Amino acid sequence: MTTDMHLREQICMLAKSMFDRGLTGGSTGNISARTQDGGLLVSPTGTSFGRLDPGRLSLFDANGLLISGDLPTKEMPLHTAFYDTRSTAGAVVHLHSCHSVALSMMPEVDVDNFLPPLTPYGIMKLGKVKLLPFFLPGDPEMGKAVRGLAGKRSAVMLANHGPVVAGKDIEAACNAIEELEDTSRLAMMTRGMLPRVLSSNDVQALVTKFDVEWDV
C-alpha cells in the first residue's frame, strides 16, 4: 500500500470510528491531513464521517490547488488557518460533539481557557483551548479568527458549533479532539457540584513535565 493510500484509509477509518461512537452525526464534521509532498487530503463537503470513501477525498497540491476528488468541506478556511500558522500541524479535525457544544453555551466559561482543569489529559493533549464567538457555518471569518491567534493555540472551540483541533498527525489530532469532548462531558456532568479541580500548582507541574504550550 502506498503512503498516500495508507493516509486515505487512515482518515476514513478514524472518521468512521468517531461517527460510530456518536462524536459527530449526520454529515457534520470535517477532517484533513498533510500529504507527504506537502499537499492536503480533505473530507468532501456534505459527506458523513461514517461513509467517507478513500478514493473520493479532496486532494490539494502543495500550492493549494484542488487536483482530484470531490469538492472539499466549506470550512476549508478553518483548516488552512491552522496549517498556515502552525508549522507542526499535520492534521486538523472539526466535530459537532454534543458535550463540548453544550459547554460552549454556558455563561461562566472562561473564553481564554475553555476547559476546566478536571484531569491531566486535557491539559497534556490540548493546552489552553480558546473559545471563539459564533460564526455562520462556512463563514471565512472563522479562519481569520484562528489566524488572529498567530499559531499560539492548537485547539479552538467555536461557540454553539463545535471544536477544531490541530495535531502533528491525524491520529494525534483525533486523540486530542476526543479528549476535548471527554473533558467537556465531565464538566457538564459535574456542573453545579463544586468538583475538586487540579490546583494551579498541579497544572504548572503538568505544563513543565510534558512541555505543554500554556503561557500564550
Cβ-contact 155, 165 below 8 angstroms: yes
Q: What is the DSSP letter of 28?
A: -
Scanning the structure block, which residue is given the C-alpha cell 486515505? 8
Cβ-contact 40, 83 below 8 angstroms: yes
pLDDT in tens, 33-83: 999 999 999 999 999 999 999 999 999 999 999 999 999 999 999 999 999
Integer Cα distance of 56 and 21 in angstroms: 23
Scanning the structure block, which residue is given the C-alpha cell 491552522? 82
**Burial per residue of 107-129, b for 16 or more beta-carbon CB atoms within 10 angstroms, e otherwise:** eebeeebbbbbbebebbbbbbbb
Is 90 exceeded by the pLDDT of residue 2?
no
- The model's confidence at residue 1, banded by pLDDT at 50, 70 and 90, is low
Is 70 exceeded by the pLDDT of residue 7?
yes
Integer Cα distance of 202 and 9 in angstroms: 39
In the set 75, 178, 179, 181, the catalytic residue is 75
Told to judge if 141 belongs to the known catalytic residues of this protein, a careful annotator would answer no
Cβ-contact 88, 150 below 8 angstroms: no
- The model's confidence at residue 215, banded by pLDDT at 50, 70 and 90, is confident
- The model's confidence at residue 216, banded by pLDDT at 50, 70 and 90, is low
Query: Sheet holding 130-132: strands in order across?
Result: 66-68, 58-60, 40-42, 30-34, 91-94, 162-167, 155-158, 130-132
In the set 9, 108, 121, 213, the catalytic residue is 121
Global pTM reads 0.96
What's the CATH fold of domain 3-209? L-fuculose-1-phosphate Aldolase (3.40.225)
- Distances, alpha carbon 31 to alpha carbons 10, 65, 91, in Å: 11, 18, 8
Told to judge if 83 belongs to the known catalytic residues of this protein, a careful annotator would answer no
Could you give the dihedral angle defined by the CA atoms of residues 13, 18, 19 and 23, in that order, rounded to the nearest 10 degrees? Answer: -170
Scanning the structure block, which residue is given the C-alpha cell 493549494? 64
Angle separating helix axes 3-20 and 170-189, nearest 10 degrees: 10
- The CA angle 158-163-80, to the nearest 5 degrees, is 85
Cβ-contact 147, 137 below 8 angstroms: no
Integer Cα distance of 73 and 208 in angstroms: 37
